[in-house]
Amino acid sequence: AEVTFDYENLQGVEGGLEDGDLDGVRPRLKEAVDGLLGDPPGFMRLPKTREYAESSVSLAEEIRGSGATDFVHVGIGGSALGPMAVHRALNHPYYNMLSGEARRGPRVHFAENTDPATLSAVLDVADPGGTWVNVVTKSGSTAETMANFLVIRGFLVDALGSFGYQGRTVATTDPEKGFLKEISEREDLRVLPIPADVGGRFSVLTPVGLLPAAVTGLDVGAMLAGAAQCVDEVQEQGPEHQAVVGAAMHYLMDTQRGRNVRVMMPYADSLERLAAWFVQLWAESLGKEGKGSTPHGAVGTTDQHSQVQLYMEGPQDKVIEIVEVEDHPKDLSIPKAYEDLEGVGYLGGHTMAELLNVECDATRKALTEAGRPNSTIKLGAVNEENLGYLFQALEIQTAITGDLYGVNAFDQPGVEAGKEITYKRMGRPGH
């Protein structure tokens, strides 16, 4: 995998870190890594064991081979953001509009929010005769997911009858417990497991992420190989691994330099949803007990014409993390024209990828010169292997940062109160 982390511009700049800062936290960082490697959380096991690759790929092949026209992935939060990030990063931006060989699987739709406008739109375009539904909930009873599922189930039962519906439905859930497990047994649905020891936002390399990726013909083996390389490197390098060092860097920027906003700004449209995935990972894992920094997603160059003004001259409360892509999957030459007009003619002869990467570098330099701390994650290319590596690296970084803050990165008690009120108002028994 070709993924690197560069924190130089967190140190050299005014308001950034000094050498002693990192040294001060090193013993705790070492302790955190030793703890993580001594008793690895479930998500770190997945890339090496590949325990869910075969079942996900073979079910995906069955779905693709069945002549499926549409695949509706129903889930929210950690049960949706990873698959959405993978789809946006690695499939054609207009994937659903491609035809013939160019589209390697059925059209893909995500039913995440409970917004009826979105769900109606899915039902408007999905062909009930060829639709598969994958309902994904680890707990087995998330209100948003179950409501979306019940609507889609009704749509499929109406079109295909109960037998037809059952043959086209996958339940991705905890194999040991929960209402979705009970439904899957009652209706004899196909089931893929979300292991008990892997939390939602750490589950992209379980069937949660692997099945939808494989349904669109992506190479989940390469994604797992990239993630496995990351685990190997963290095992070898321990606190010296750059993603691990990054945990300390971001922790220090928040707690010692007051930079309590972490912006992830990929210079590639395809990575916009990766930032959304990361925002959830960082926010839900670390925002506890009055601690944590606020993650935010932006996209370069687009947000140079929007948020970068704030990043350059607004409050000194941010770390900007640029995600740079060396080789873009496509490039276009910019034709020469209007050469007599100095404000336009200079563009001809360059390429679009060149312009994108020059702008990326220019923003980094401008931020640095303005004393605005920034870091860079560089990907050789946006491909399965690098994405797998990056998922794993950011998950490890988040888990270690949780340790540095002294919070449990794997729970989310703060989301329960709103759920309780909803259950009560919607009439769920016992609430």
What is the nearest approach in angstroms of ligand PA5 to the Cβ of residue 107? 23
Q: Which of 101, 305, 330, 342 is catalytic?
A: 305
Q: 10 Å Cβ neighbour count for 66?
A: 13
Q: Which residue has the tokens 């990575």?
A: 271
Helices 384-405 and 220-237, axial angle in degrees (round to 10): 40
Window 58 to 117, contacts with ligand PA5 (CB under 6 A): 76-79
**Which span (34-42, 102-110, 137-145, 331-339) binds ligand PA5, by CB under 6 A?**
137-145
Window 144 to 183, contacts with ligand PA5 (CB under 6 A): 145
Neighbouring-strand partners of residue 70: 107, 131
What is the nearest approach in angstroms of ligand PA5 to the Cβ of residue 271? 20
Pairing verdict, β 374-381 and 3-6: antiparallel
- Interaction of residue 131 with ligand PA5, rule CB under 6 A: no
Give the Cα separation of 426 and 431 in Å (integer): 10
Pairing verdict, β 294-297 and 261-266: parallel
Q: Which of 284, 324, 384, 395 is catalytic?
A: 284
What is the nearest approach in angstroms of ligand PA5 to the Cβ of residue 280? 6
Tokens, residue 399:
């888990």
Q: Dihedrals φ, ψ of 73, to 5°? A: -95, 115
Q: Going residue by residue from 405 to 424, which x/- string records binding to ligand PA5, judged by CB under 6 A?
A: -------x------------
Give the Cα separation of 201 and 258 in Å (integer): 26
What is the nearest approach in angstroms of ligand PA5 to the Cβ of residue 285? 8
- Interaction of residue 137 with ligand PA5, rule CB under 6 A: yes
- Interaction of residue 357 with ligand PA5, rule CB under 6 A: no
| One residue of 199, 266, 300, 402 binding ligand PA5 per CB under 6 A | 199
End-to-end CA distance of the chain: 48
What is the nearest approach in angstroms of ligand PA5 to the Cβ of residue 142? 3
**Which span (24-32, 124-132, 138-146, 396-404) binds ligand PA5, by CB under 6 A?**
138-146
Closer Cβ to ligand PA5, 131 or 145, answer by number: 145
Neighbouring-strand partners of residue 136: 172
| One residue of 88, 103, 107, 201 binding ligand PA5 per CB under 6 A | 201
Pick the closest to residue 398 from 251, 230, 247 (CA basis).
Answer: 247
**Which span (199-207, 357-365, 371-379, 385-393) binds ligand PA5, by CB under 6 A?**
199-207
- Interaction of residue 398 with ligand PA5, rule CB under 6 A: no
Tokens, residue 72:
């509706």
- Can 424 be counted among the known catalytic residues? no
Give the Cα separation of 405 and 207 in Å (integer): 30
Closer Cβ to ligand PA5, 47 or 83, answer by number: 83
What is the nearest approach in angstroms of ligand PA5 to the Cβ of residue 393? 18
Q: 10 Å Cβ neighbour count for 141?
A: 15
- Can 291 be counted among the known catalytic residues? no
What is the nearest approach in angstroms of ligand PA5 to the Cβ of residue 277? 11
R_g of the chain, CA atoms, integer Å: 23
Q: Going residue by residue from 205 to 244, which x/- string records binding to ligand PA5, judged by CB under 6 A?
A: ----------------------------------------
**Distances, alpha carbon 374 to alpha carbons 252, 346, 398, in Å:** 13, 29, 18
Residues in the chain: 431
Please count the residues of this chain forming the interface with ligand PA5, following the rule CB under 6 A: 14
Tokens, residue 426:
């919607």
Q: What is the dihedral of CA 232, 238, 239, 240, to 10 degrees?
A: -70
Closer Cβ to ligand PA5, 9 or 56, answer by number: 56
Give the Cα separation of 130 and 137 in Å (integer): 23
Give the Cα separation of 281 and 380 in Å (integer): 23
Closer Cβ to ligand PA5, 173 or 307, answer by number: 173
**Which span (109-117, 118-126, 133-141, 149-157) binds ligand PA5, by CB under 6 A?**
133-141
Closer Cβ to ligand PA5, 145 or 304, answer by number: 145
Q: Which residue has the tokens 């990828």?
A: 353
Q: Which residue is nearest to ligand PA5 (CB)?
A: 200
- Can 92 be counted among the known catalytic residues? no
Neighbouring-strand partners of residue 287: none
What is the nearest approach in angstroms of ligand PA5 to the Cβ of residue 81? 8
Pairing verdict, β 107-111 and 131-136: unpaired
Closer Cβ to ligand PA5, 139 or 408, answer by number: 139
Residues annotated as catalytic (active site), given as ranges: 284, 305, 419
Positions in the binding site for ligand PA5 (CB under 6 A): 76-79, 137-139, 142, 145, 199-201, 284, 412
